[in-house]
Chains A and B, each alone.
Chain A
Amino acid sequence: MSATCEFQAKDYKSDLKPIWCPGCGDYSVVQGIYRALAAIGRPPHEVAFISGIGCSSRIPGYTTAYGFNTVHGRALPIAQGIKLANPDLLVLAAGGDGDGFSIGGGHIAHLIRRNIDITYIVMDNQIYGLTKGQLSPTSQKGRTTCTSPYGSLENPVNPLLYVLAYGAGFVAQASPTDLAGMASTIEEAIRYPGFAFVNVQSPCVTYGEEAQQIKGLKAISESLAAMGHDPADRLAAMNLAQQYGQKMHLGVFYRNPEPPTTYDALVRERQALLAKDALPKERILDLFIKK
């Protein structure tokens, strides 16, 4: 299937008007996704975009792809089911730092070890935006919020190191300080044959701190390509990822130079192998009925 033809960014924009707070970083992420999808060129009806719950998880509705704004923390298992049921679809999953690394934190390891061909975009704003500014798993230690009025006592999760350690084949970071870079990073993630993770530092203008806004991010951002980082070097990627929270490295941390076969491809192979012994639908019940 997978027809590719000329599409423009606007072809992926739906008529639904975003209701994010004015200035929210997620406005830039949706623009980056429109551009990346246009560069890939798959028609919107061949794209399934799955999210959890959160401000960021509204994103599928602002695209013309098939979308499913699911349950808090459950974007990945549902995206996985969709990809396995219809491997021809281009499957994107997205959500917030809370969605992906708190309530949904248990799922990512399993998608990575299975290596399902899904691109997962986390809009990391270091806060629970939708529920009005509670501490999130990526909030910095000491951060004062309504659930940490005296400052957080916890160390944050490092999303980059976390997915690298689990063995993700493609790990990258982007931000609204460089929209073209964000678009090309997301495009590269989609093109990677396997599970791909993009952490987007997407400022929450309403509950975020000053240093996390675009000017603050610009001050700590550095392009991995300009630094001469070799994305095939996983250990170098892990070393750089340690600086999450202090520096904002943009671009590809790691791309497996020899991507292994994806789980969806293996499942397809297995299905083909077993197809000759498969019972016709009307006889499946026979398996369960004692003769």
Chain B
Amino acid sequence: MATQIDFARLSLMDALDLAVLIEDEAKERYEDFAAQMEQHRTPEAATFFRLMAGNEAKHGQELADRRSQLFGGLTPTVTRAMIFDVEAPDFDEARAFMSPRQAMKAALASEVKAHAFFVAALPALKDAKVRALFEELRDEEVLHQTLVKAELAKLPPDSGLSDDDFVDEPAAQ
């Protein structure tokens, strides 16, 4: 995760725009992962990643609506280049033939990462409204973790066998 944000000077509009960009980035990465899984005939993991992309899109839309209610069409001053991998899983978290459990664990790790981002930013924030927003976002990450954990709990118990015993490495392309 890397950012170039001056948290002390963050306005509420910038903070909302950043939050939208963070959700957008995560949505795109999950969509990418889902496409990779579909391409490699791993439909269960693909379905889960599409679900995550849908969640991120929904949350991003809610934040975007709030932003436009408060600030209308004012031009954003923050850009996508200022954030990286805040809530999006790392590029190499996807793996060939991922089981649903592995996919969910990758998503859980990202929610933990996003939570850590908001926690780390809080002490630097000066604006009370921005602080309240970051606290809300931090708590939402905990909620997301709970949701992913609930999905994990629904899975049948792990067979204890390794996928490596059953599948070849990906075919040379």
Contact = CB atoms under 8 A, between A and B. Distances in A.
Contacts of A21: 40, 96, 170, 173
A179 B88 CA distance: 12
B33 interface: yes
Nearest to A203: B92
Contact of A179 (B84, B98, B173): B84
Indicate the size class of the contact surface on chain B: 20 to 34
A213 to B, nearest CB: 5
A130 B171 CA distance: 9
B130 interface: no
Contacts of A203: 92
A123 to B, nearest CB: 13
Contact of A180 (B84, B91, B94, B173): B84
Interface in A31-83: 55, 58
Interface in A201-221: 203, 205-207, 213-215
Contact of A176 (B36, B82, B92): B92
Interface string A116-139: 000000000000011110000000
Contacts of A180: 2, 4, 80-82, 84
A184 interface: yes
Contacts of B90: 176, 214-215
Nearest to A132: B172
Contact of B91 (A25, A55, A206): A25
B2 A131 contact: no
Given A22-B96, A203-B92, A205-B92, A27 B32 contact: yes
A203 B36 CA distance: 16
What 3 A-B pairs have minimum CB-CB distances, sorted nearest first? A22-B94, A22-B36, A180-B81
A55 to B, nearest CB: 6
Contacts of A24: 92
Nearest to A130: B172
A179 B32 CA distance: 15
Nearest to B79: A180
A17 B92 contact: no
A189 interface: no
